[in-house]
Amino acid sequence: MIQNFSKQLLITGNLNRPDIDFNATTGELIMSGRSILENTARFYDPLVEWLGHYCNEPAQTTKLHLKMEYFNTSTSKFLLTIVERLAELYHEGNEVEIVWYFSDEDMQELGIDYSHMIDIPFSFVEYIY
């Protein structure tokens, strides 16, 4: 549980977990790398909690940059939770955008699937890892 909400959440990634740079001041939320965690909830629950605090007083513009090279099924559930929460923020009248970076057709299609599930602006950027 986050006792004192920090304006920035930084987590250094490795081969199994993504880099996280969530900045409440700028509204830039960046997730990049790979997510193939054994205990996905242990990693993502604090991110979802941080996002809940952020959504109480969001920046003027919120932009989630998803530069995920690869993620497993359990991670996809948490990413969907994050994107759904940002969609709620968007429907409350806030400016929100998801920037989905992809390096191959599979990741591009996955991003398109997310964009069809969630009514929120998505943009797609081809990215070489």
Characterize the bridge pairing of strands 61-71 and 95-102.
Answer: parallel
Residue 108 sits at φ, ψ, to 5 deg, of: -65, -45
Q: State pLDDT tens for residues 80-107.
A: 999 999 999 999 999 999 999 999 999 9
Rounded distance between C-alpha atoms, residue 95 and residue 93, angstroms: 7
The verdict on domain 8-126 having CATH code 1.50.10.10 is no
Q: What is the pLDDT of residues 12-57, one digit of tens each?
A: 999 999 999 999 999 999 999 999 999 999 999 999 999 999 999 9
- 51-78 residue pLDDT tens: 999 999 999 999 999 999 999 999 999 9
Give the model's pLDDT for residue 4. Answer: 59
* Residues comprising the chain, all counted: 129
pLDDT of 68 reads 95
